[in-house]
Every structure is written in C-alpha cells, then in structure tokens.
C-alpha cells in the first residue's frame, strides 16, 4: 500500500500523548491494491486509515510522487491502525 505522512494540526490547549516512538512511523493510506482486500487481524483496511508501521523495515520503499514523499509499505510491516 502507498502511505503519506500525517500532518498534525498545530493547536493550542492540551498536548495529547502520541502512541508512537522512534521505532515506528505514522502514515495515512492513500492507495491500496484494488483487486484484493487487505486485512490487519480482523479489521479491513480502507483508504484514509491512519496506520503505524515499522520504521526500519527493508521492505519499505520511499518514492517521490508529484513532489510528495510517499512510502510503499508491506502489509506485514503494519503494526496497528489508529
């Protein structure tokens, strides 16, 4: 699947705790294979889902599309959905 970086809105008030450390990345799914559905455990992944995936996976590839930095992520590298 193709994933883009989630831009966090800068807002005033309380700072929320992120479920994230330096081992993982957070990204938003923008493209998925159309021929077959993708499941993470029992949940079906959909476009626009925010996922947490392994940062240093050798199967993750960074690509440049229309000036945007995107990442190809393997399903086995996806750890969770938010």
Partner 1 sequence: MASNKKSKMAYIGKKPLVEEHYNIDELIKAQEKRSDERTYYREKDKAREERQKLIEDSQMVVATDFHCTRCNEDFKTMAVLQVELDWSNLTQSIAFYKSKHRKCGSWAIRHITDKTRDGFYQRSKAVVLERGKYHNDILQPFETGFNLVYGKPKHTRIN
Separation of alpha carbons 3 and 9, rounded Å: 18
Output the smallest distance, CB 58 to partner 1, in A. 4
Nearer to partner 1, 46 or 63 (CB): 63
Binding mask 2-31 for partner 1 (x = CB under 8 A): ---x--------------xxxxxxxx----
Cβ atoms within 10 Å of 52's Cβ, excluding its own: 19
Separation of alpha carbons 73 and 66, rounded Å: 19
In DSSP notation, 20-42 reads --TTEEEEEEEE--SSS--EETT
Binding mask 39-68 for partner 1 (x = CB under 8 A): ----------------xxxxx--x------
Contacts to partner 1 by CB under 8 A: 5, 20-27, 55-59, 62, 69
């Amino acid at each position: 699947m193709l994933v883009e970086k989630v831009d966090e809105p800068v807002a005033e008030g309380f700072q929320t705790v992120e479920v994230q450390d330096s081992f993982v990345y957070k990204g938003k799914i923008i493209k998925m294979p159309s021929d077959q559905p993708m499941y993470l455990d029992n949940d079906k992944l959909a476009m626009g889902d925010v996922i947490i995936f392994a940062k240093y996976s050798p199967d993750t590839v960074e690509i440049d599309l229309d000036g945007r930095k995107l990442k190809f992520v393997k399903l086995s590298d996806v750890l969770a959905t938010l």
